[in-house]
Amino acid sequence: MVVSLNEPLDMHLHLRDAGMLDIVAPLSAETFSGALVMPNLVPPVTTKEALLSYRKRILDAVGESTFMPYMTLFFKSDYSAGFLEAVKDDILAIKLYPAGITTNSEGGVSGFDLKELAPVLDAMSGLGIPLCVHGETGGFVMDREAEFIPIYEKLAKNFPDLKIIMEHITTKEAVEALKRFENLYATITLHHLYITLDDVAGGLLQPHLFCKPIAKRPEDREALLDAALKADPKVMFGSDSAPHPKDAKEAPGCAAGVFTAPIALQALVQLFEKHDALDRLQSFVSDNAKRIYGINPPEKRVILENSPYLVPDIYEGTVVPMFAGRTLEWRVVSAG
């Protein structure tokens, strides 16, 4: 059995920088036509010069592969309308992080005072620049996303012309919120379609499954699965693939992030086949994102076949993928 996917897109991807960028960027470029690249470097990407420099480093890392890095800026409340207009053609979205809530987000937003945020959000609305949001509060870890829903609602109501993407949603409450507001959309990761908190910490701790937002309850996973498998037109695939060196994952103070980029399509096909939903995978992994963001990625056709694929234990002796050492039921046979 063979599955063909056209222009698969990863609409939430961490490529890091320097040596890690050189390892992981080619792995995404092998099977994806493009990806929305997160800006939370050290320091974060907040200027046009930093943006263009980072884009060049990504393109250098992927070499001859057909791959479009869709760039983002790290949200700042003091961006001027003139600056946003000048950078509009170089970015696809702006990413808002609550301060200190995840990796390299210390310079994010505190308080969510709409009067303070309004000048930038109004300018983004007028320019048609989408807002991507890591939607968590600083509360109890299992409740952080649900507690953030009222902030999404406030943003959606006060800025009706602003396209808002709820990034890497993990709860049934977030799925329900999508239905209430026309301008809310969402990305869903591979790992949140597969795991619950029990997989992370129900037995021996699994550091390579520890992420933020943390995996939730079975009923939350079921809500995500329902939206993804139906290819709900308001959701799209975003891996939130977040590589860290092995010694930063298998350590006290384990870094948050699951590295899924090189096995994402294989695992998605396996999941959609299991649920008799292969006819909707193209929409989830490409067509919905094209429509939501209004993009035309470079042509790429990825063909997978139903034959065993042994996931590597580690890449370049540095970064461990999800399903390391396990066999998936599908493999990529060609991409181009």
Q: Which residues are catalytic?
A: 240
Q: Hey, how many other C-beta atoms are within 10 angstroms of the C-beta on 63?
A: 10
**Cα–Cα distance for residue pair 102/236, rounded to 1 Å:** 22
In the chain, the N- to C-terminal Cα span, in Å, equals: 19
Alpha-carbon dihedral 48, 50, 53, 57, rounded to 10 degrees: -130
Residue 284 tokens read as 């989830």
Q: Which DSSP letter does residue 54 get?
A: H
The closest of 115, 182, 179, 173 to 144, measured between CA atoms, is: 173
**Cα–Cα distance for residue pair 164/152, rounded to 1 Å:** 8
Contact, 39 vs 276, CB < 8 A? no
**Alpha-helical regions (H) of the chain:** 18-31, 48-62, 81-87, 114-127, 144-158, 172-180, 190-194, 197-201, 218-229, 246-249, 264-274, 281-282, 288-293
Indicate the SS3 state at residue 331.
strand
Contact, 229 vs 277, CB < 8 A? yes
Nearest 5°: the CA angle 11, 217, 140 is 85
